[in-house]
Structure 1
């Protein structure tokens, strides 16, 4: 087996690979891949903003495993993920991944621990609405379907009823995420063993339909309170960049996180939580913002904060990686200027996942608009990160709240 180690946004690495696998990597855009002009049979691979592990298999060649390590500590990465999913998860100390330095073992460990806590008091039961054709009457008869399908015949009967048991959306979701975890590479055997045990307890819940992108819908309530951290992580597992692909002779399987999206989700969630103290409401990925009066050019700021009277008060955009080595990229300033102009705001805020650039403030000529550029050092502790976000929220809110 060939194992290729890459670092997120790190330098390119030259690796000897079969041409089939090199071309598959280039087409999949998992990493930047191109033939190495200075090495026969070599491919230059460079990781972008995706981290995790991917296995590639093709007949006649040994498997190739691609491992992409994040620049930030894995425990910090999972704090960002967990906080964005549900701020209460990490406030209550539900998830800990301190024992692992790789992404997939950490993901498996965090999910297994939350799943064990969810099932500690037994498998949750509830009512599931069922509609079916049956030889006997149970529940109520669906009269319209009975007439339409059976034309006056007494049997079979179209019925609907509520069945009480463990085959409910919550358990279906946990079972699906557990089974997905068991297929991923580099999950430690002790965690696999515990996940198999949990899956055995959830077997009465129906499996998801293969290839279906729709997840079972559930609602948070007091009955499923102990399940909620595990359910949030299960949705993250199933909605993440899961890769299951077969293209010709190449089979690709693995799991990747998009660090750009993780940072954006964290910043928006943390800002929304911090701005709640000042009233109003936050719109994430705001959809009613247009650049022109004809509303033909739509814009999507990451966060718009509206005051208590419904008018825009502040706008913010999260940027994971500055593109210029000497500082912040100018294009972001132009983008924020457009947001402020369209929303009629005197200032806007750009938030970067970089720690060494000093925060900056720019006043635009002839416009009177100020654009702030803030830098977050993700190596800081969770409390320090949230304190930095709270400071940005105070600046956004200003002295008065309308």
Structure 2
């Protein structure tokens, strides 16, 4: 198996690949790939904004595994991921993953710790609604199904009942994440894999979710408090492990996160939490329209509204500045459109530091100012949240009365 080590948005590497492997890598759309014009038998491969690991099967050839390391420290990335699911995030002392240099081993270790902690008091049990065919009455008879399936016969019976069982959504998610981590391509330390296998044995009687099956829903309650960190991690594992598809004849199996989406989720959730005591309400990824006929949709990442409805502030999270050919300032044009449509004098673009400058632009003849903020991710979580809180205070001060 060929293994390619890359860094997120790093320089392109020239690697030895035959044409079949290069074309498979290109078709998988995980990285940028093109034949090296100066070195026959090699391809230039460059990572974009996805981080993690993926294996691409090459028809009739050797599989290619791509490992993409994020620019931010692994523990910091896990904090961003956790905060987007819960405002409490992951406490830094709980992560302790400085020894891991890749995302998959770090997440596997953290999941195993949290799942073991969740199951320490035994499997959680609860009521599950079940519909089945039975020879005895239990619960209630589904009359419509009884008539449709059995045409007036008395038995078997179509019934519905609530069953008190451990085979509930919470345990199904833990088992699915455990199974998925055990199947992912390499990279998980032997000690962690061994503990995952033991967890899988403890969950052996729980229904295994099929590939592509919709994940069961759960909600935080007093009863599942001890499960909640493990469940949020399970959802991260299953969401990141969704890179499993067949584009044409190429099979891809992997675990990847899109850093732009991770950054966007973190910024919008953290900003909403920072404004929680300032009144009004925040809309994330809500639809607005640029024109009066409502034909041109706009979806700003974050809009803060007053209690009575009017917008007070608009912001967009941009992990990396968009500079398509011919439109080097596309982000600024987009924010200008948001400000005009929402009738706001100021708009805010929030970048990861190092990907865009920190500046303010006063638009001619429009009385609109567009701010570009730079959020430093390579610092402790408390520092990142302090920068978000400072931005929230700014929004409060400049909000139109």
* TM-score normalised according to structure 2 size: 0.94
Q: Is the 8 A contact 2:322 2:330 kept in 1?
A: no
CA displacement 1:7-47 (0-9 Å, x = unmatched): 11111111111222211111111000111111121111010
Q: Is the 8 A contact 1:20 1:250 kept in 2?
A: no
Task: State the distance in 2 between where 1:238 and 1:278 align.
Answer: 35
The Cα shift of 1:330 comes to: 2.0
The Cα shift of 1:170 comes to: 0.8
Aligned to 2:181: 181
Aligned to 1:371: 370
Question: Which 10-residue stretch deviates more, 302-311 or 356-365?
Answer: 356-365
Q: Which residues in structure 2 correspond to 1:192-271 (within 5 Å)?
A: 192-212=193-213, 214-240=214-240, 242-246=242-246, 250-271=250-271
The Cα shift of 1:322 comes to: 2.6
Aligned to 1:50: 50
Aligned to 2:128: 128
SS in 2 for 1:276: coil
Going from structure 1 to structure 2, the CA distance change for 1:153 and 1:31 (only over 3 Å counts) comes to same
Task: State the distance in 1 between where 2:196 and 2:280 align.
Answer: 43
Q: Is the 8 A contact 1:139 1:160 kept in 2?
A: yes
Going from structure 1 to structure 2, the CA distance change for 1:400 and 1:69 (only over 3 Å counts) comes to closer
The Cα shift of 1:202 comes to: 1.3
SS in 2 for 1:351: strand
Q: Which residues in structure 2 correspond to 1:3-402 (within 5 Å)?
A: 3-58=3-58, 61-91=61-91, 94-184=94-184, 185-212=186-213, 214-240=214-240, 242-246=242-246, 250-287=250-287, 289-322=288-321, 330-355=329-354, 359-398=358-397
Going from structure 1 to structure 2, the CA distance change for 1:89 and 1:37 (only over 3 Å counts) comes to same
Going from structure 1 to structure 2, the CA distance change for 1:161 and 1:357 (only over 3 Å counts) comes to closer
Going from structure 1 to structure 2, the CA distance change for 1:94 and 1:281 (only over 3 Å counts) comes to farther
Task: State the distance in 1 between where 2:362 and 2:56 align.
Answer: 51
Unaligned runs of 5+ in 2: none
Going from structure 1 to structure 2, the CA distance change for 1:92 and 1:19 (only over 3 Å counts) comes to closer
Task: State the distance in 2 between where 1:95 and 1:280 align.
Answer: 34
Task: State the distance in 2 between where 1:302 and 1:377 align.
Answer: 19
Unaligned runs of 5+ in 1: none
What value does the CA root-mean-square deviation take over the aligned residues?
2.0
Task: State the distance in 1 between where 2:40 and 2:398 align.
Answer: 64
Task: State the distance in 1 between where 2:249 and 2:313 align.
Answer: 52
The Cα shift of 1:206 comes to: 0.6
Q: Is the 8 A contact 1:173 1:234 kept in 2?
A: yes
Question: Which 10-residue stretch deviates more, 144-153 or 121-130?
Answer: 144-153
The Cα shift of 1:2 comes to: 2.4
* TM-score normalised according to structure 1 size: 0.93
What is the total number of aligned residue pairs between the two structures? 397
Task: State the distance in 2 between where 1:78 and 1:91 align.
Answer: 10
Q: Is the 8 A contact 1:319 1:351 kept in 2?
A: yes
Q: Is the 8 A contact 1:55 1:63 kept in 2?
A: yes
Going from structure 1 to structure 2, the CA distance change for 1:60 and 1:180 (only over 3 Å counts) comes to same
The Cα shift of 1:323 comes to: 5.2
Task: State the distance in 2 between where 1:356 and 1:62 align.
Answer: 36
CA displacement 1:73-101 (0-9 Å, x = unmatched): 11111111111111224258554433311
